[in-house]
Structure 1
Amino acid sequence: MSLSPTGTSSPTKFQSGTDSLSSGKHLICDIKNIKNESLMNDINGLKNMLDTICERYLFTILNKAEHCFTPQGITILYLLSESHISVHTFPERNYIAMDIYTCKDYPNNDVYVEIQNYLTSNFESSDDRYIIIDREY
């Protein structure tokens, strides 16, 4: 699927097959024009946000890894029983790349839209793009 500026997707190589089974959903986020710039270098603030997401949506955290770059930027990875979360901040570009892949079975994409709205609200972003991919096998 390719990403359009409105957050909707258009088909490309990722086409659902009639015999395909879902292995989960993958939320891919690009968050730009961030007003809450201090959060991009706040390791504890970022982890609190991720912990809140995990608690709210019942994701089971198995392990966490993080790295703070010099002079700025953070990468955080959460290994989940249900898959993973990754966050990469680029303060010099006022940009965050984040993805959440989970095999949890939700009836629709509302949960992923809620998560995206939560992220956009916390970062006070005026420009976010996202795509939700149904991972199939």
Structure 2
Amino acid sequence: MPGLHLLAELYDCRCAPKLLADAGALRELCLAVCATPGLTPVGQIFHQFGSALEPSGATGVVVLAESHLAVHTWPEVHAVTLDLYVCNFSQNNSAVARLACQRLISAFVPARVLRRELERGIPDLAGVLTTPEND
């Protein structure tokens, strides 16, 4: 299960307001980004908050054969959170994950970005590995 888990918080997004408010626009962006070679969408669900007349944000998930992409928008504060986990089971997909994440970030045109990267599936040899019995 080795892989790269990327998290990003986007602030003061200057993209078209529809991208922050409309689940359909968010879906189109996420599916376009997940068409990147090395990512294989196998399912999706997106939810519109508010109403058709007054949309107020969206949330969506694309399930990937390699893991997942989750995106949540807050148009009232021009913010977005991204969560992209890409497994490296048969090959190292870290570059693909970083490219997809950067494409998403660029689409929202944020003034400020907080990014985090976590290498998963590589136990910390200096740390304590717990089992369910000793948690």
How does the TM-score come out when normalised to structure 1? 0.73
- Post-superposition shift, 1:110? 4.1
Provide the residue aligned with 2:112 in structure 1: 127
Alignment counterpart, residue 93 of structure 1, candidates 65, 77, 82: 77
Between Structure 1 and Structure 2, whose CA radius of gyration is higher?
2
In structure 2, give the amino acid aligned to 1:98.
L
Checking the alignment, whether the CA contact within 8 Å between 2:21 and 2:58 is kept in structure 1 is yes
Checking the alignment, whether the CA contact within 8 Å between 1:39 and 1:45 is kept in structure 2 is yes
1:64 and 2:44 aligned: yes
CA distance in structure 2 between the partners assigned to 1:78 and 1:113 by the alignment = 16
How many correspondences in the alignment?
A: 115
CA distance in structure 2 between the partners assigned to 1:89 and 1:66 by the alignment = 11
Superposition map of 1:1-137 within 5 A: 23-36=2-15, 37-70=17-50, 71-104=55-88, 105-106=91-92, 109-136=94-121, 137=123
In structure 2, give the amino acid aligned to 1:33.
D
Checking the alignment, whether the CA contact within 8 Å between 1:84 and 1:101 is kept in structure 2 is yes
How does the TM-score come out when normalised to structure 2? 0.74
Checking the alignment, whether the CA contact within 8 Å between 1:112 and 1:132 is kept in structure 2 is no
Checking the alignment, whether the CA contact within 8 Å between 2:70 and 2:82 is kept in structure 1 is yes
Q: What are the superposed Cα offsets for residues 31-83 of structure 1, whole Å, 9 maximum, x if unpaired? A: 11111132101222222221122111331111111111115111101111111
